[in-house]
Amino acid sequence: MKKTTPFFISVIVLVLAGVACGIDFGTQPSQPQQPIVITVVVPQPQQQQSQQQQPQQQQPQQSEPTLPQPSPIPPTAPPPPPPTSAPEKPIFTANRDLSCADGPSWYKYNFILKFAEYDSAPIVGINGKYGLVEYKDNRCWVLLTEGTIKGSTSGLPTIEAPPLPIVEVWVENQLGQYVYLVFFDWETGNRVKTLALDPGKRVKIKLPSGYYAIQGYTKKDQKIYQSGMINLGVGDSNQLPGLLDGEAEIIIF
């Protein structure tokens, strides 16, 4: 707070005997009259004005306490759709005992195990008339026409057949003259191999396993020899010789 600086105004009132409305003050002492000094304290006007103009010191405004803003909640991802159950695999049931092989042909591929009559197994793939089944901790191929199927195979993948096993066989000409041989696939009729043999000659050839028909003819007699079905399946190549004539043979072993 600022101090108010007073200043003094001296007012001298002279009281003269006989002046001021003729009042008689009586006999005054002989000594001279002393002036009466009245001191009046008056605030300095300019000071007061400046004080009024001066704005009062305001109390510092207290800022409102800042409350911590809650962290925004990140948008939650929509829940994933419920997993769709995998379609059930079709089930194969055998009508009789079947060979379960390592490829889609019971006679061209290696035998894995017997698929017993009335046994059932899920089918996981197809190739033609054959189905790849899961049976007794194995995956092997069965002929689907030899049983019944519960369910649809339309959604199953088509599985490429593995390469056919290669078998080695000996062919011997016992006709006594030159012979020209042609091997045909029994199922498709396609020519698979041709072979020329001198009399008494024996050669080793390699063929994919399967059933074949052999056709041969001689140069000298122009005679055509025709065999029946010859099994060149895995492990069976030595069992069935190919008979080309009642008197002479082309031996396959």
The range of the structural domain enclosing residue 144 comes to 91-150
Bridging pattern class, strands 250-252 and 179-185: unpaired
Give me the pLDDT at residue 73, please: 67
- Please state, as a whole number, how many other Cβ atoms lie within 10 Å of the Cβ of residue 205: 15
The answer to the question of residue 128 being in a domain is yes
Write the pLDDT tens digit of every residue in 200-231: 888 888 888 888 888 888 887 777 777 767 77
Whether residue 185 is contained in a domain is answered as: yes
In single-letter form, the type of residue at position 36 comes to: I
pLDDT at 133 over 60: yes
Strand order of the sheet with strand 166-173?
202-208, 166-173, 250-252
- Is 102 a member of any domain? yes
Cβ–Cβ contacts within 10 Å for residue 15, how many?
Answer: 13
Residue 52 lies in a domain: no
Residue 243 CB partners (closer than 8 Å, separation 6+):
227, 228, 249, 250
> Residue 87's pLDDT is what?
67
The whole-number pLDDT of residue 123 equals: 98
Total domains present in the chain: 2
Q: State the DSSP H helix or E strand holding residue 46, giving kind and residue range, or none if neither.
A: helix 45-53
Q: Is residue 159 included in any domain, yes or no?
A: no
